[in-house]
Structure formats: structure tokens, C-alpha cells
């Protein structure tokens, strides 16, 4: 994840860090201070620049321009962090699997980032970057945290003992592909295997369960939104909020699946904090449905783990949203830059 170039500056707390969050559509940039406040933000379409070298050079130009605007000297930039999607080899810092980033596969990302910045640099998977941002914002020190993202797929970023953890092959925290059903009729998963969490609890799994319920109960019991081919988890959450028993049960079931997987994760890592984020949190703390979802996840975790794991694990909603990738990358840059 890191390469150290020793810092010689004593005023470290005054320093700024550049976070670069690369996605298939956009590159997000942020100039962040040691406390985790984002001072300047930028974004640019990824395909226009394309290669890692061009994106890193653009990011450095952005940082220098922002420093000038802030009337800060160039030496105030103390480190650069990069968050990337896909399977990141955490020894070579090369992407082994990545979609939507042509020309990035197999590139020596840390080396290229160091060349472009001449500063302490870090490269991390974007899920782990977001998890690290949540970890830093909660000042969890050497504690462990998992950030689970629920949506079209199910992702998970890990911070173990205070550092982002990618595993030996960049696949740690692939919670969506934990098997929760083992019988012959376990549902097929997008990865080609069967019975994985994602098949049951990601958006597609929830909608499949809705369609089974419609078949079982008859369409007259369901609203036009729920019967539509375009139905989304948001529609199901809205109907649950209006009192639909079936939709509440579907969401409860989702919570139980997610809770089971978190229980397994808890038995392996025993983290202090597990956070739920992404589009499928059913309104989060702002709605009764979201709060009930969280309570059911918590109850399932407690019911499926050893007492000391269940009672000590804080399960909650994530709070940082869109800023998390950039912020985490900058905070990891801070971690590797510390004198």
C-alpha cells in the first residue's frame, strides 16, 4: 500500500494531503488537512485523461493550483493517496482485475504515483479507502472496522488494527461472495458460484424475492410501482414505510441475510465497528424502515455470534457518503507521510 519517503518537516499538523479517487466515470480529487477536513475538491472525467500517468499528473497540477489559491507553499503538500476499484495486488500495487479502466490493468501504480508526486504515496482499494475514512473520522486508533456497501453488489472495506487490509491477494472483505446457503437449490451468483450473500441480499436478490411474493399473493395486493419492470429497492422501502407488510418482511429478510454475513465476519475479525452504507440502507436513520432494518441486522449478529463478539460490535450506518473515497485516500497518505 505504501512507499515511505521520510518527511523532514516538523510542522506536520499544518500539512495537506491529496486524495485521488479513481472510478470508471470520474476522478475525484481532494486537498485534505491532517484533521480530515476537505479544503478543496475537484473532479474530472476519467476517460478524457485515461492512463494512470496522465491522471496523476493532472492531480498534481490540481494540487499545486489549489495551494497557490490558498496562498500556501508547495512544501505544504506532504503526501498523496490513491484509491482504485478492482482487485489490487497489495505487494506489487498493480490491479489484477478491473473493469471500466482500460490501460490500468497490471500498471505499477505506486511507482507511477511516486514518480508523478515525488512525495510519500499510498495506493489502496477504494472500498478500503472509504472504510479508512470512516475509521479516521471516528478516531478509532488501532481498532478494526468494516464498511459494508449494499447496492447492486455487496462490497466491504476493511481496516484491521488501524490499517487498511486488502488480504494477500487483494480479495479480503469480499463479503458479497460469502456462502450463506448450501442446499442444491441455492441461488446462482454473478460470480458463477451459488448461495452467495449477493444473490439474496443485493438489489437483484431483493427484487427477485419481491417477484416471488407477487406470484404467491397475486398482483392485486401490490402497487403499480412494485409491479413495474423498473422497480427498485427504493420503491420497496417507500412501500414498507407506508405500511406494506410484505415489503417490511422482504426488508427484514434482507437484514437477516446481511446480519448472518456480518456475524461470520465478526467471528473472524472481531471488529469494534461495522458500518452499513450504499443505496440499499432503506432510508437509513431518517426512516422507520431504515431504523428497523438496522435493528434486525444487529439482532441477527447477536443471535449468530459468540456473546463477546455480538455485544461488543457496534453496528451502525456509515456517515461520510461520497467524500469517503477521497478522504480515505488522503488520510492514508497522511499515515504514510508521518515523520
Please identify, using beta-carbon distances, which residue of 191 and 311 lies nearer to Zn ion. Answer: 191
Q: Nearest to residue 142, comparing CAs of 273, 317, 337?
A: 273
Are 236 and 247 within 8 A, CB to CB? yes
Minimum Å gap between C-beta 82 and Zn ion is 27
Minimum Å gap between C-beta 192 and Zn ion is 7
Q: Nearest to residue 263, comparing CAs of 313, 304, 230?
A: 304
- Dihedrals φ, ψ of 8, to 5°? -110, 0
- Dihedrals φ, ψ of 187, to 5°? -70, 145
Residue nearest to Zn ion (CB): 189
Please identify, using beta-carbon distances, which residue of 191 and 286 lies nearer to Zn ion. Answer: 191
Minimum Å gap between C-beta 130 and Zn ion is 21
Instruction: Please report, to the nearest 10 degrees, the dihedral formed by the alpha carbons of residues 168, 173, 174, 175 taken in order.
Output: 150
Hey, what's the cell of 187?
441461488
Please identify, using beta-carbon distances, which residue of 88 and 202 lies nearer to Zn ion. Answer: 202
SS3 92: coil
Please identify, using beta-carbon distances, which residue of 162 and 204 lies nearer to Zn ion. Answer: 204
d(CA 99, CA 106): 13
SS3 170: coil
Minimum Å gap between C-beta 186 and Zn ion is 11
Please identify, using beta-carbon distances, which residue of 37 and 193 lies nearer to Zn ion. Answer: 193
Minimum Å gap between C-beta 27 and Zn ion is 29
Please identify, using beta-carbon distances, which residue of 28 and 177 lies nearer to Zn ion. Answer: 177
Give contact residues for Zn ion (rule: CB under 5 A).
177, 189, 191, 193, 196
d(CA 115, CA 109): 10
Minimum Å gap between C-beta 204 and Zn ion is 12
Amino acid at each position: 500500500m505504501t512507499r515511505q519517503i521520510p518527511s523532514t518537516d516538523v510542522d506536520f499538523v499544518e500539512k495537506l494531503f491529496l486524495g485521488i479517487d479513481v472510478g470508471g466515470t470520474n476522478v475525484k480529487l481532494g486537498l485534505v488537512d491532517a484533521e480530515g477536513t476537505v479544503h478543496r475538491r475537484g473532479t474530472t472525467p476519467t476517460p478524457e485523461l485515461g492512463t494512470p500517468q496522465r491522471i496523476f499528473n493532472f492531480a498534481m497540477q490540481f494540487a499545486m493550483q489549489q495551494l497557490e489559491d490558498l496562498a500556501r507553499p508547495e512544501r505544504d503538500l506532504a503526501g498523496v493517496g490513491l484509491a482504485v476499484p478492482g482487485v489490487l495486488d497489495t505487494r506489487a500495487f498493480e490491479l489484477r482485475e478491473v473493469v471500466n479502466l482500460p490501460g490500468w490493468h497490471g500498471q505499477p501504480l505506486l511507482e507511477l504515483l511516486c514518480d508523478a508526486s515525488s512525495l510519500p504515496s499510498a495506493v489502496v482499494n477504494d472500498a478500503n479507502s472509504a472504510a479508512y475514512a470512516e475509521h479516521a473520522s471516528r478516531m478509532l486508533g488501532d481498532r478494526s472496522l468494516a464498511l459494508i456497501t449494499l447496492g447492486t453488489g455487496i462490497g466491504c472495506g476493511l481496516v484491521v488494527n488501524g490499517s487498511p487490509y486488502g488480504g494477500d491477494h487483494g480479495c479480503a472483505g469480499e463479503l458479497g461472495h460469502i456462502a450463506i446457503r448450501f442446499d442444491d437449490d441455492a441461488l446462482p451468483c454473478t460470480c458463477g458460484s451459488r448461495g452467495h450473500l449477493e444473490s439474496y441480499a443485493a438489489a437483484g436478490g431483493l427484487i427477485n424475492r419481491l417477484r416471488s411474493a407477487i406470484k404467491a399473493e397475486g398482483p392485486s395486493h401490490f402497487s403499480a410501482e412494485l409491479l413495474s419492470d423498473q422497480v427498485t429497492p427504493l420503491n420497496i422501502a417507500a412501500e414498507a414505510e407506508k405500511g406494506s407488510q410484505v415489503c417490511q418482511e422482504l426488508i427484514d429478510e434482507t437484514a437477516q441475510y446481511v446480519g448472518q454475513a456480518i456475524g461470520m465476519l465478526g467471528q473472524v475479525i472481531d471488529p469494534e465497528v461495522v458500518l452499513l452504507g450504499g443505496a440499499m440502507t432503506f432510508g437509513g436513520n431518517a426512516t422507520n424502515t431504515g431504523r428497523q432494518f438496522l435493528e434486525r441486522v444487529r439482532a441477527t449478529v447477536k443471535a449468530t455470534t459468540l456473546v463477546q463478539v455480538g455485544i461488543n460490535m457496534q453496528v451502525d450506518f456509515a456517515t461520510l457518503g461520497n467524500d469517503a473515497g477521497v478522504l480515505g485516500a488522503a488520510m492514508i497518505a497522511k499515515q504514510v507521510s508521518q515523520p
